[in-house]
Structure 1
Amino acid sequence: MDAFDELDLAIVHALQIDARAPWTRVAAAVGADPATVARHWQALRDESLAWLTAWPTPERWSSTTDVAVVLLDRSTTPERIDELARLSWVLSVDESSAGWLLLVAGAAGLAALGERVRTLDETGARIRRVDIAAAIPAEDSNWRLRVLSRGQQRLLGAAPQTGEVRAPRPEVVAELAEALEQDPRMPAAALGTALGVSEATARRTVERAVAAGVLRLGCDLAMPAAGYRRGAVLWGRAADAEAAAARAVQLPEAHRVGILVGPAPLFVCVRARSLTELQRIEHAWGAEVEVADRWTVLREVKRNGHLLDAAGRSSARVPVRW
């Protein structure tokens, strides 16, 4: 298997919506029987074409996390980049036409984030540019395929919450995320054992964390095998940066959106089937946005805690800690 068929893509989209949905519910949404769905998913996992993820949401980031977008010179060797990609607080690594692009995270303030950036410099990597994020409205786990219809997606949606959902305590969320990191579909009984609580409490804790927007359970995939063989980084400016960023989040092609501190503060990473689509994407973003620069993504090296091979498959998992 080296590419997705229509059922594969539908299954991945379903798991992006609800990674813990029973196979019976996924099967109902994608129009196949549960055994077939489970067999397709196992084949995708075996080929490292798709994998489940447990990831903090932008809501959790905004309250606990500082992020720096770091550009390293292209002279930095691939061997050095591989070392940096294995650092738990380096969230993503892309080889771009401008250089190596890294997202670095920290939860101990800007001074500590600066120390981490200096750590990159001390490894021998030449830093060309550092931008600090004021906000991260969207990151990679937000992005979804557009395969299932709205009706199919409704079959996967959780029951609507009544009133405001109270998030579990931060230390509980951290413990939960660590337990689900290796297997987001871990049965509630096993999760309860890991957390030292009952099966029912474990199930409710997951539901509350997801509903409150402090944890996202989803599914990632090898983008080239799904036809998304091209990527770009757009830098832009607008009179109302927050409104422009909100519009960028709605672009189907946008998988990472940031508002940085700099002359062109809008930072948007997009993926497409062809670079000829960039003009259409920029037009859809809005006439109010001035695109100041464009970089082509040559290769994704790391995304959401997974190292990627040349074909975009997950080759190893690096536990995310910051």
Structure 2
Amino acid sequence: MTRSVTLDALDRRLIHALQLDGRAPLSRIAAVLGAPERTVARRYHRLRSAFVVRVVGLVDGTRAGLLDWFVRIDCAPDAVDALTSALAARDDTSWIAPLAGGSRLVCMVRTPAVAADGGRALFDHLARTPGVRDLEANCVLRPVAGVGGWAGRTSALEAAEQALLRSWAVTEEVDDADPDMDGAAEWTEADARLIGELARDGRAEVRDLAAVTGWSASTVRRRIARLRVTGVLHFEVDVDPALFGSPVEALLWLEVAPGALRTVTGTLSRHPQVAFAAVTTGSASVFAMVQCRDTGALYDYLAHELGALPGIGRTETALVQRRAKRAGALLTPASRPRNARRV
């Protein structure tokens, strides 16, 4: 649980900078922000120690030969907490949210590609879990909004400041990496350990990553750079949208006519309320996470922004009760109810 924190202008600028380059040295970020390095360091460590801000390393599943699924699970009300805790403890889950109403939860699950088993073993096991009444798994075909950060937290830096941070990051990665080497090739157990540590702390020290992988510090730097420049690895800032004035989170399932997909998804990518959206399999071909100031603002978004888009048919909306897990790995084991089941 995060402590009570209010973000000021410097905090927001720092978070935006970290979204642009999660592993940038704080000295470099301080130069862009025009603030003393010690001040920026204190701000970052204050937010990090209060569990308000965390940089996490994430793998692009499509480039690593993996599939992402949004899974909706309908279960008995007394099974929700146990199932949520069990799912949160898994390395292949993220974005876990029990929904308001008490008998449904949604999560993202990462599985091997369809050519392997497409997650069938996990989905079959979930379907047989006591308390689970039904589940629906929709495969992510293409993310269309929110990739690279929710616009609600990436508007604090001026364009010139953003360009400077990006130019430094690209120059460093291209200098250190071999662009001809496929970042997903020759994936090893050491790579898995590296990614596991970065999923917990994207700013982990190189010496700590070297100890975990068994590589030298220079090899760690080159491997991270190679994975980044090939698009396999990117870094995301994990922060509660409520701190940016958007405490109401809603999940949307939109039935969109195939001919309208490009128009609808292109428009969603420009909506500041949309934290993430993707085209998926299933009757509702577009899934979106929306952040709003309050339920009135959510109504306005549905009625005016979405309502103005042609090609959208049936729309289903659900309010998130809480987030049990976001993008990164679970930092500490959640207190599991005594009847928690392993899934």
Superposed pair shares fold, TM > 0.5 = yes
Distance 1:190 1:93, change over 3 A: closer
Cα shift readout 1:169-193 (whole Å, capped 9, x = no counterpart): 2515535313433432234455455
After TM superposition, the score normalised by the length of structure 2 is 0.78
* Alpha-carbon contact 1:93-1:101 (below 8 Å) kept: yes
Cα shift readout 1:200-219 (whole Å, capped 9, x = no counterpart): 44323212211211111232
Could you tell which deviates more after superposition, 279-288 or 223-232? Answer: 279-288
Which of 147, 153, 157 is 2:162 aligned to?
153
Amino acid at match of 1:29: V
Alpha-carbon distance, 1:273 to partner = 1.9
User: Which residue number in structure 2 is paired with residue 102 of structure 1?
Assistant: 107
Cα shift readout 1:130-152 (whole Å, capped 9, x = no counterpart): 03215141587732312222122
Amino acid at match of 1:171: W
Amino acid at match of 1:239: P
SS in 2 for 1:67: strand
Does residue 218 of structure 1 match 2:257?
no
* Alpha-carbon contact 1:253-1:270 (below 8 Å) kept: yes
Distance 2:76 2:266 in 1: 31
Could you tell which deviates more after superposition, 28-37 or 241-250? Answer: 241-250
Does residue 202 of structure 1 match 2:220?
yes
Distance 2:147 2:56 in 1: 8
User: Which residue number in structure 2 is paired with residue 178 of structure 1?
Assistant: 196
RMSD over aligned Cα atoms: 3.1
* Alpha-carbon contact 2:84-2:98 (below 8 Å) kept: no
Q: How does 1:1-322 map onto structure 2 within 5 Å?
A: 1-57=4-60, 59-60=62-63, 63-73=65-75, 75=77, 76-97=79-100, 99-107=104-112, 109=114, 111=117, 113-137=119-143, 142-144=148-150, 145=153, 146-157=155-166, 158-159=169-170, 166-168=181-183, 169=185, 171=187, 173-188=191-206, 190-192=208-210, 194-236=212-254, 237-240=256-259, 242-243=261-262, 244-278=264-298, 281-282=301-302, 283-284=304-305, 287-290=309-312, 292-307=315-330, 316=333
Query: Which runs of no fewer than 5 residues in structure 2 stay unpaired?
Result: 335-343
* Alpha-carbon contact 1:58-1:138 (below 8 Å) kept: no
* Alpha-carbon contact 1:54-1:177 (below 8 Å) kept: yes
* Alpha-carbon contact 1:306-1:315 (below 8 Å) kept: no
Alpha-carbon distance, 1:279 to partner = 5.0
Give the length in aligned residue pairs. 310
* Alpha-carbon contact 2:141-2:281 (below 8 Å) kept: no
SS in 1 for 2:309: coil
Query: Which runs of no fewer than 5 residues in structure 1 stay unpaired?
Result: 308-313, 318-322
After TM superposition, the score normalised by the length of structure 1 is 0.82
Cα shift readout 1:11-32 (whole Å, capped 9, x = no counterpart): 1121111111111111122231
Alpha-carbon distance, 1:73 to partner = 3.3
Distance 1:289 1:147 in 2: 34
* Alpha-carbon contact 1:257-1:266 (below 8 Å) kept: yes
Amino acid at match of 1:258: A
* Alpha-carbon contact 1:67-1:103 (below 8 Å) kept: yes
Could you tell which deviates more after superposition, 8-17 or 179-188? Answer: 179-188
* Alpha-carbon contact 1:65-1:107 (below 8 Å) kept: yes
* Alpha-carbon contact 2:96-2:108 (below 8 Å) kept: yes
Distance 1:34 1:128 in 2: 52
Amino acid at match of 2:112: A
Alpha-carbon distance, 1:256 to partner = 2.8
